[in-house]
Amino acid sequence: MATDISSIKITKTANSRLNEVDFENIPFGKVFSDHMFTMDYVNGEWSNFEIKPFQDLHFSPAMSSLHYGQSIFEGMKAYRKGENIYTFRAKDNFDRLNKSANRMCMPNIPNELVMDALEQLLKIDEKWIPDNDSNSLYIRPFMFATDEYVGIRPSETYKFIIFGCPVGSYYTEPLKVKIESHFTRAANGGVGEAKAAGNYAASLYPAKLAKEEGYHQLLWTDSKEHKYIEESGTMNVMFVIDGKLITPDLSGTILPGITRKSVLEIVKSWGIEVEERKIEVTEILEAMENGKLEEAFGAGTAATIAQIHTIGHEGKNYVLPEIADRKISNKVLNFLNRIKRGQEEDKWGWIKSF
Ligand SMILES: *Cc1c(COP(=O)(O)O)cnc(C)c1O
C-alpha cells in the first residue's frame, strides 16, 4: 500500500497532562500519554491517518464490535535512555496483528505506515517514555469493527488506534499459579493463537475463581484432556528441568509470544538446550516432587519474565526453588532489560532506535 507518511495529520494537545503524573508510582494501564494515532477502514481502504490528543470516542450503540467481538489488539513497549527511544521487535507485533486480523475476518493494516506512525507518536510523546531501568511506555495498538449493524457478518468498517501508557512492573511479587483442570482458554481450531478480545473475556471467570483460592493466575491446560500445559494469563510459560529450558510448542491454541521466541533465541545463543514440545502436567508434578524443577516462569511483554513461586494442582501446592537461585531466567531478564535499552549488542536486529 503506497500511503504517504506525510498524509498523517498531526494535532498536538494544548494541555499536556505530563506534570500530573507521578512517574514513581504508576498504576499499570491507567495513565495514558497525551496523544494517540487513529485511522479508519472505509470503502476497502485505510484513511484518516491522524495523531491527535488522547480523547474519548463516540459510537453508535449498534456498533458491531460491541455485540459480536470483532476486536483484536497488540501489546508492546518503548524504552528510553536519555535522548534515545527504543522499540523492541515492533514489526513482529504488527505482523501478528495482521495474523489475528486474518483469523477474525478483519482487514490487514499497512505495516510500514503504522510503524512510521508509531515512531512519530513516540517522538511527540517522548517525555511520557520513562527513562529508567524498570519502567517503560506500554503501547496498545488495536482494531475493532465499527459498522452500525446488528447482524452477524464481517464488518465493512474498522478503526485502528495506538495509544500508550507509562508503566512500571506488572507483577510486584513472584506468582502463585494454579493448573486449571476444568475450564479452558482455547480449543483446537479456535482462536487461541489470535490476540482476540473475546479470549480475555472468557478467561476472567476461571481466573476469578483461582484468585478466590489465593492464586494470582492460572496455568491453562489443553481443552481435550487437561493433560498438557499451555500458557498462563497473558504469558507463555517456561520451565527449566535438568538444565534444559522447556516450553509448550505452538500448537494453535497458544499465543505465539514475541517474548517467548526472544527468550528461546537468547538462551540458545548461550548454548543452553531448548525444547519446544508438549509438556504433560504429570511431568511437571513429578519434577516438582523430585526437586528437579529448577525454574518456572511466564514470558510476556507486560511482565517480561514473571517468576512462578508456587504451582497448585488439585488442592496441593508445590513451592519452587528460591528466585535468587534461578540462573537462566534471571540472566535472560537482565539481558532483555539491557538489550531493550540499547545496552547489549543487538545481533538479531530486534531494536529500532530513533
Ligand atoms: C500477548 C500474550 C502473550 C505474550 O506475548 P508477547 O508478544 O510476548 O507479549 C502470551 N499469551 C497470551 C494469551 C497473550 O495474550
Q: What is the pLDDT of residue 133?
A: 83
pTM over 0.85: yes
Q: What is the pLDDT of residue 1?
A: 47
| CB-based contact 125:33 (threshold 8 Å) | yes
C-beta of 233 in contact with ligand 1 (< 6 A): no
pLDDT in tens, 66-82: 999 999 999 999 999 99
How far, in Å, is the centroid of ligand 1 from the Cα of 193?
Answer: 9
Q: Is pLDDT above 50 for 55?
A: yes
How far, in Å, is the centroid of ligand 1 from the Cα of 234?
Answer: 5
Which residues of the chain form beta strands (DSSP E)?
Answer: 9-10, 35-42, 45-53, 71-73, 76-81, 84-88, 136-145, 158-167, 175-179, 217-219, 231-232, 235-241, 244-247, 274-276, 293-300, 304-313, 316-319, 351-353
C-beta of 320 in contact with ligand 1 (< 6 A): no
- Cell numbers describing residue 86: 527504543
If you average pLDDT over residues 279-293, what whole number do you get? 97
Q: Is pLDDT above 50 for 254?
A: yes
Q: What is the pLDDT of residue 225?
A: 97
Question: Which protein residue has the closest C-alpha to ligand 1 atom 12?
Answer: 234
Alpha-carbon separation of residue 257 from 61, 72, 86, 123, 135 (angstroms): 34, 15, 19, 26, 20
Alpha-carbon separation of residue 180 from 15, 209, 218, 220 (angstroms): 47, 10, 6, 5
Tell which atom from ligand 1 comes closest to the C-alpha of 300.
8
C-beta of 75 in contact with ligand 1 (< 6 A): yes
User: DSSP H helical segments within the chain, as ranges?
Assistant: 64-68, 90-103, 111-124, 197-212, 258-269, 281-289, 327-339
Q: Is pLDDT above 70 for 153?
A: yes
**Among 25-29, 174-178, 274-278, 314-318, the least confident range:** 25-29
pLDDT confidence tier of residue 5, bands split at 50, 70 and 90 = low
Q: Is pLDDT above 60 for 216?
A: yes
pLDDT in tens, 81-134: 999 999 999 999 999 999 999 999 999 999 999 999 999 999 999 999 999 888
Tell which atom from ligand 1 comes closest to the C-alpha of 302.
9
Q: Is pLDDT above 80 for 34?
A: yes
Q: Is pLDDT above 90 for 135?
A: yes
C-beta of 198 in contact with ligand 1 (< 6 A): no
pLDDT in tens, 9-24: 999 999 999 999 998 8
How far, in Å, is the centroid of ligand 1 from the Cα of 258?
Answer: 7
**Rounded to an integer, what distance in angstroms lies between the CA atom of residue 131 and that of residue 85?**
9
Q: Is pLDDT above 60 for 305?
A: yes
How far, in Å, is the centroid of ligand 1 from the Cα of 7?
Answer: 32
C-beta of 235 in contact with ligand 1 (< 6 A): yes
The residue assigned the cell 505495516 is 111
* Residue of 76, 138, 236 best suited for mutating to test ligand 1, as the one with most atoms within 8 Å of CB: 236
Tell which atom from ligand 1 comes closest to the C-alpha of 262.
8
Going by their DSSP bridges, the two strands 304-313 and 293-300 should be labelled as antiparallel
Q: Is pLDDT above 60 for 2?
A: no
C-beta of 217 in contact with ligand 1 (< 6 A): no
**Among 47-61, 169-183, 300-314, the least confident range:** 169-183
Tell which atom from ligand 1 comes closest to the C-alpha of 93.
7
Residue 190 CA, distance from chain mean position: 19
Tell which atom from ligand 1 comes closest to the C-alpha of 92.
7
If you average pLDDT over residues 129-154, what whole number do you get? 95
Q: What is the pLDDT of residue 6?
A: 65
- Sketch out the chain's domains with CATH numbers: 5-167 (3.30.470.10), 175-340 (3.20.10.10)
C-beta of 231 in contact with ligand 1 (< 6 A): yes
Q: What is the pLDDT of residue 3?
A: 53
Q: Is pLDDT above 80 for 297?
A: yes
pLDDT confidence tier of residue 191, bands split at 50, 70 and 90 = very high
pLDDT in tens, 194-208: 999 999 999 999 999
Mean pLDDT of the chain: 95
- Cell numbers describing residue 68: 459480536
Q: Of the candidates 41, 150, 188, which has an alpha carbon nearest to the alpha carbon of residue 106? A: 41
